Structure 1
Amino acid sequence: MKRIAGVVALVVSSVLCGTAALAQSGVEKLYILNCGEGAAGDISRWSPGVNEGQSMDFVDNCYLIKHGSDWFLWDTGIPDAVAAMPNGLAPSDPKAVTWHRPKTLVSQLEAIGVKPADIKAMAVSHTHPDHIGNVELFPDAMLYVQKAEYEWPSADGKPRFNKAHPVTLLEGDRDLFGDGSLIILSTPGHTPGHQSLLVKLPKTGTVVLSGDAVHFKSNWDNRRVPALNVSKEQTVASMEKIADVLKNDHAQLWINHDKAQRDTLKMAPEFYE
């Protein structure tokens, strides 16, 4: 009996150690993918009363994150089909961004050795076209999105996502792996269910991916709110929430559309760990 008890104890200990190792595995790598580049016709569209008539180069980032054996994708960018458009994708509003796609999302994943089917989970910061352009390249990946965003009526009355796509509807923050290394932050204001992402890396430290909670650094520094945001009050509150996270976690803020910042960062196939 003692021998059997010893074997059982050893098995239980091994299982517990394996569970602990899994819980502590955390995020291993973060890749920044080029999901679009373009020029805004008039950046006062995002900073009312400031920079009237000035153009600015914009970028559009997606992020591939490796957590243990899992691959997680944050935002999907401009549709890959735009890569075949020599003049890019022109907006209906001349103040907005004319987007180009220098590299497809799929080709950048291939360069890393990742197939679309390898991505089992994904999330988008919000449902504007420059962030959801390639969601259906990953039809089986679980999509994490705020319930308020998922149910937000679109201008044409059509659903914002394919109803057949597997989805987990959130109502607030979510620790995706239960170990604090990848946390979706509810940051409404730009849209009703906008969200940002906190990523804890073992060497780089903590990074917050802004989505469109802020579009470029001067807007962040001055807490400016684009006129097209659904709620100025929520936007400012979300900026303050992010600021608290940056302070408490000694984190960096990576602003999704800010080209000046993006040009200082490593792009895939290089990565952060």
Structure 2
Amino acid sequence: MTRSIKLVLAAVALVLSAHAAPAQSEKSGVERLYILNCGEGATSDVSRWTPGMNEGKPMDFVDSCYLIKHSQGWFLWDTGVPDAVASMPNGLVPSDPKATVWRRPKTLVAQLDQLGLKPDDIKWMAVSHTHPDHTGNVELFPQAVLHVQKAEYEWPGPNNEPRFKPSHPVVLLSGDKDVFGDGSLTILSTPGHTPGHQSLLVKLPKTGAVVLSGDAVHFKSNWDNRVVPGMNVSKDQTLASMQKIADVLAKEKGQLWINHDKAQRDSLKMAPESYD
């Protein structure tokens, strides 16, 4: 075979390889999702979340975090009640007797370990908002890039303290954000519960589209009846955010997973099982 023929064959092979289908490992997108137990709570009076209804009625809550495996790495949504609560015999008892008493049956670190992961393996994270039952373990992941709405980041905390340590790597958002640019994981701006509240649209290859509510809505009954808790910063924004989520669900033919709704959470698979 002459040298010129070899060069032609090599060029043809190069062109064919450039147009070949990508390998499975090169596919972009979300691969699977784990639901983690990030707290269990109880209140003696749920009317705080359902104004005008359920006066003096007790209710159990749950608090979930969601670990998402994307082709580019691990992403964590919300961090739950602080892991330190796991060592408190009576749980985290609030000063307000009508507020939620939180317990932590499993630490976040232990659940990651069960999946063969360490906190350092988390490359990206986001919190729905800055209430402590969602940000309790943010500082376990100092290397992870945190996505948060600018309005939430700049919202003064108790005693006007910053809500995050200045050293934490942060991406400040002003609206929706396609995190990886492939449509598989989209942060949705859903203000109302807090000034910069956000929810998360996850597109799983088999399960399909799921919206993780954060606290845009607290319970299925609140969702069905468009009930806005009295502590929300804006009723109008909350209702608009609920409608936005409803529109996304209709467009994507998706499911709504409501973070604090115990009945729904108990019907879902928990880690180490996963959704793909």
- For the criterion TM > 0.5, the same-fold answer is yes
Letter of the 1:262 partner, please give it: R
The DSSP-based 3-state class of the residue aligned with 1:233 is helix
Structure-2 residue corresponding to 1:152: 155
Structure-2 residue corresponding to 1:127: 130
The DSSP-based 3-state class of the residue aligned with 1:193 is coil
The DSSP-based 3-state class of the residue aligned with 2:110 is helix
Distance, in Å, in 2 between the alignment partners of 1:117 and 1:7 is 41
Distance, in Å, in 1 between the alignment partners of 2:194 and 2:43 is 20
Distance, in Å, in 1 between the alignment partners of 2:172 and 2:90 is 37
Please give the residue correspondences for 1:226-265 in structure 2 after superposition, counting only pairs within 5 Å: 226-265=229-268
What displacement does 1:9 show?
A: 3.5
Structure-2 residue corresponding to 1:74: 77
What displacement does 1:44 show?
A: 0.7
What displacement does 1:268 show?
A: 0.4
Task: Identify which of 37, 40, 44 aligns with 1:37.
Answer: 40
What displacement does 1:211 show?
A: 0.1
Letter of the 1:229 partner, please give it: N
The DSSP-based 3-state class of the residue aligned with 1:90 is coil
Distance, in Å, in 1 between the alignment partners of 2:172 and 2:15 is 40
Structure-1 residue corresponding to 2:50: 47
What displacement does 1:67 show?
A: 0.7
Distance, in Å, in 2 between the alignment partners of 1:93 and 1:218 is 24
Distance, in Å, in 2 between the alignment partners of 1:241 and 1:143 is 24
The DSSP-based 3-state class of the residue aligned with 1:156 is helix
Structure-1 residue corresponding to 2:3: none
In structure 1, stretches of 5+ residues that fail to align are none
What displacement does 1:155 show?
A: 2.5
Please give the residue correspondences for 1:1-273 in structure 2 after superposition, counting only pairs within 5 Å: 2=8, 5-6=11-12, 9=15, 12-13=18-19, 17=22, 22=26, 24-273=27-276
Letter of the 1:215 partner, please give it: H
Letter of the 1:92 partner, please give it: S
Structure 1 residues 2-53: Cα deviation after superposition (integer angstroms, max 9, x where no partner): 5675465456546x946x974x431111000000001012111011111111
Letter of the 2:139 partner, please give it: E
Structure 1 residues 213-237: Cα deviation after superposition (integer angstroms, max 9, x where no partner): 0000111111011111011000000
Distance, in Å, in 1 between the alignment partners of 2:87 and 2:191 is 34
Q: TM-score, normalised by structure 2?
A: 0.93
Distance, in Å, in 2 between the alignment partners of 1:231 and 1:2 is 68
Q: TM-score, normalised by structure 1?
A: 0.94
Tell me: CA distance 1:107–1:21, structure 2 relative to 1, closer, same or farther (3 Å).
Answer: closer
The DSSP-based 3-state class of the residue aligned with 2:160 is coil
What displacement does 1:69 show?
A: 4.5
Distance, in Å, in 2 between the alignment partners of 1:127 and 1:41 is 24
The DSSP-based 3-state class of the residue aligned with 1:236 is helix
Distance, in Å, in 2 between the alignment partners of 1:10 and 1:162 is 51
What displacement does 1:93 show?
A: 1.7
Structure 1 residues 35-88: Cα deviation after superposition (integer angstroms, max 9, x where no partner): 000101211101111111111000000000001141100000000000000000
RMSD of the alignment, in Å? 1.7
User: Which stretches of structure 1, 4 residues or more, deviate above 2 A after TM superposition?
Assistant: 1-14
Structure 1 residues 180-207: Cα deviation after superposition (integer angstroms, max 9, x where no partner): 1111000000000000001111111111
Aligned pairs, number: 270
Distance, in Å, in 2 between the alignment partners of 1:111 and 1:41 is 33
Distance, in Å, in 2 between the alignment partners of 1:203 and 1:11 is 29
Distance, in Å, in 1 between the alignment partners of 2:65 and 2:45 is 24
Letter of the 2:131 partner, please give it: H
In structure 2, stretches of 5+ residues that fail to align are 1-6
Q: Which has the larger radius of gyration?
A: 2
